[in-house]
Amino acid sequence: DAKTTQPTSMDCAEGRAANLPCNHSTISGNEYVYWYRQIHSQGPQYIIHGLKNNETNEMASLIITEDRKSSTLILPHATLRDTAVYYCIVKGETSGSRLTFGEGTQLTVNP
Amino acid sequence: EPEVTQTPSHQVTQMGQEVILRCVPISNHLYFYWYRQILGQKVEFLVSFYNNEISEKSEIFDDQFSVERPDGSNFTLKIRSTKLEDSAMYFCASSPPGGYGNYGYTFGSGTRLTVV
């Protein structure tokens, strides 16, 4: 699976949009971009994933560049409960294959 | 919303003892996983399980580890002779059938294992 690069930490004001970037320049054609988050030692929580089109669900939006070498997770109105470590993971489409977690981005939402 | 349930939430054991960590995956899921996270470190993959057999395992998953699905609902991780370095949070996860990355994995809230 392709390697990802994320900033170590970011801050965001409550109520504002949080934009979390991820670089995955070695991504291959059949690999998806997944985002998970981990709130203070709880189990990782799935947020969203995409292949090449932008995706939106009730939690977030995922913007993938046309060349697929980078993506941005957008939390449109961040709340204090969104403070967490956010992981960008590139994974093939095979069911049951492992997720490889990196260090992620520590997002702190400030009041 | 369906959940992955893990028990116990915290287990303390003496070095050299055997422990069994238990998980109840989501009922219609077919793929099951164990991950661990040593305090302050990354979440690490241990093993995946499908159709009653191990489908993939990491280099961490050596002979002291084993997994089992003893009945239709439980999925267990056994550590035969615990070492101090096995102290970690252990997360169980499950995912539904189907390819094309249609679904994320659902993780449980973890079992904190402390080996003393």
Separation between Cα atoms, residue A100 and residue A78, nearest integer Å: 26
CB contact under 8 A, B93 and A45: no
Q: Confirm if A60 and A91 have CB atoms less than 8 A apart.
A: no
Selecting from B45, B58, B99 the residue whose C-beta is nearest the C-beta of A95 gives B99
Residue of chain A minimizing CA distance to B34:
A98
CB contact under 8 A, B42 and A102: yes
Restricting to B residues 59-88, those with a Cβ less than 8 Å away from any Cβ of A are none
Separation between Cα atoms, residue A7 and residue B102, nearest integer Å: 27
CB contact under 8 A, A34 and B109: no
**Cα angle vertex A50, ends A48, A54, to 5°?**
95
Evaluated on CA atoms B91, A46, A22, A95, the torsion sign reads positive
Q: Supply the pLDDT for residue A96.
A: 78
CB contact under 8 A, B95 and A98: no
B108 and chain A in contact, CB less than 8 A: yes
Contacting residues for A17 by C-beta, under 8 A, at least 6 apart: A74, A75, A76, A77, A78
Q: Helix or strand or coil: residue A80?
A: helix
**Mind listing the pLDDT tens digit of every residue in chain A (111 residues)?**
669 999 999 999 999 999 999 999 999 988 999 999 999 889 999 999 999 989 999 999 999 999 999 999 999 999 999 999 999 999 987 777 899 999 999 999 999
Q: Helix or strand or coil: residue B3?
A: coil
CA A62 to chain centre: 8
Low-confidence ranges of chain B (pLDDT < 70): 98-102
